[in-house]
A and B are shown apart, each in its own frame.
Chain A
Amino acid sequence: MKNRFIVNPDLCTGCRTCELACSFTHAIEGLRGQTRIYPLDGGFKDLWIPVVCLQCDDAACVKSCLVDALRRNSETGAIDLNQEVCVKCMACVAACPFGCSVVDQQHKLVVKCDLCGGDPACAHFCPTKALKWNPIEPQTRKVAV
């Protein structure tokens, strides 16, 4: 893992550019895909929250998948959903406590954020830098044990 995905809701203006970027990036044969990122207003004034998969350590989606279609990608750090293996049982959609495994109605698929394979389009397009794909700095300072 060389980069870390950072969400800073304080900078989000709710313009939904990330949603478009995501949807276009995950198009199949020219048909736009379901977005994997959702800028939502959390019920607070002038405040938008880009809700996206947290790629949890002990992920409920991975646990819920009885056919092992969901696996951590050690290169990107994302939990990838292997479409060839998925049997569309909806277990992960129901199990994710953050609602980040979703159904792509148009393509009849279950989808989730894959960090675009290591180059997240949403972070590229976010005009206010509320979404960032930052390199992880090598640890320089000594940590006291």
Chain B
Amino acid sequence: MVNLTINGKVVQAEEGEVLLSVIRREKIDVPALCHHEAVEAFGACRLCVVEITRQEWDGWCDYVTSCLYPASDGLIVNTHAAKVNDLRKTIVDLFLARHPKCPEIIELAAEYGVYSTTYQTVVDGDNCILCGLCTRICDRMGFHAISTVGRGHGKEVSPPLHKAPPDCTGCLACAQNCPTSFIEYSAAKGFLTIWDKKFELLKCSGCGKETITKVFAEHLCQERKIPFEYFQICDECHRKQLAATMGEITSWDREAAS
């Protein structure tokens, strides 16, 4: 355990734990778009920048991405120093120039008082901030179905060769966690489509509700040794089934008692 100061308050942290985790535990609101606890920190969005200093630094400060910087004894952190806010303002300003129509970016920029960018707007700018969270999460799930391709202006997230990714299972983890809701998918008539790949959805044999994709369920059965029957009915019908079984047992008890 180490002691550090965040915004004037002394807090405890594990040695080496990244600052952002400590900051979040203290319920301090620091914007962070590319961070997710399921995957390793990446430092792509730069929004989690904070000011750090130490007693022995004699008034000198440094500005670091809190999602990557490890906590250590005696560190003094300021999450909303004037300079930090300025830095964040510049970052959201740049984001706004690149993604002018992105609702999440527009909202974040407004929080920092940026209502229109001071840079030149990319007119056809899409909503992907290229933070790579989707690809990191897909890797963590063990699928490696998508990655960033190209460099510089041409960099984008894509399945291999821009074709329907053979390794994708339609688990939707990428889309659910995209900080700017850029990854599109659609579900209709028993099928789910993501990354131009069409998946059959499992249908509850009790009520007909659609659950996860068949491919994803089959993967879980194979990798994690879960019986396929478990996936044949939905959560609500499973609960009803349990109630019916327990009801039957309780009614025997009652009969036996009467």
Interface residues of A (CB under 8 A from B): 9-10, 38, 40-44, 47, 49, 51, 60, 63-64, 66-67, 69, 82, 84-91, 93-102
1/0 contact trace for B218-258 toward A, CB 8 Å? 00100111100111001111111111111110110110000
Interface residues of B in 189-209 (CB under 8 A from A): 202
Complex interface: chain B residues within 8 A of A87 (CB): 36, 38, 137, 140-141, 173, 176-177
In the complex, the answer to whether A99 meets B173 with C-beta atoms within 8 Å is no
In the assembled complex, the CB of B44 is this many whole angstroms from the nearest CB of chain A, namely 17
Partner of B235 from A10, A47, A88, A99 at Cβ < 8 Å? A99
Interface residues of B (CB under 8 A from A): 24, 36-38, 137, 140-142, 171-173, 176-177, 202, 211-212, 216-217, 220, 223-226, 229-231, 234-248, 250-251, 253-254
Complex interface: chain B residues within 8 A of A9 (CB): 246-247, 250
In the complex, the answer to whether B140 meets A99 with C-beta atoms within 8 Å is no
Instruction: Pick the 7 closest A-B CB pairs, nearest first.
Output: A42-B247, A99-B238, A99-B235, A99-B239, A84-B37, A40-B243, A42-B243
Say yes or no: A67-B239 contact (C-beta < 8 A), given A9-B247, A91-B220, A95-B231.
no
Say yes or no: A98-B242 contact (C-beta < 8 A), given A47-B251, A88-B173.
yes
In the complex, the answer to whether B37 meets A43 with C-beta atoms within 8 Å is no
In chain A, what residue has the closest Cβ to B141? A66
Q: A41-B247, A44-B247 are in contact. List 14 more A-B contacts (CB 8 A).
A: A9-B250, A42-B245, A42-B248, A43-B247, A49-B250, A64-B224, A82-B37, A84-B37, A84-B38, A88-B177, A89-B212, A94-B230, A94-B235, A96-B235
In chain A, what residue has the closest Cβ to B220? A64
Complex interface: chain A residues within 8 A of B36 (CB): 84, 87
In the assembled complex, the CB of A94 is this many whole angstroms from the nearest CB of chain B, namely 5
Partner of A99 from B142, B216, B237, B248 at Cβ < 8 Å? B237
In the assembled complex, the CB of A105 is this many whole angstroms from the nearest CB of chain B, namely 13
Partner of B37 from A40, A85, A93 at Cβ < 8 Å? A85
In the assembled complex, the CB of B7 is this many whole angstroms from the nearest CB of chain A, namely 21
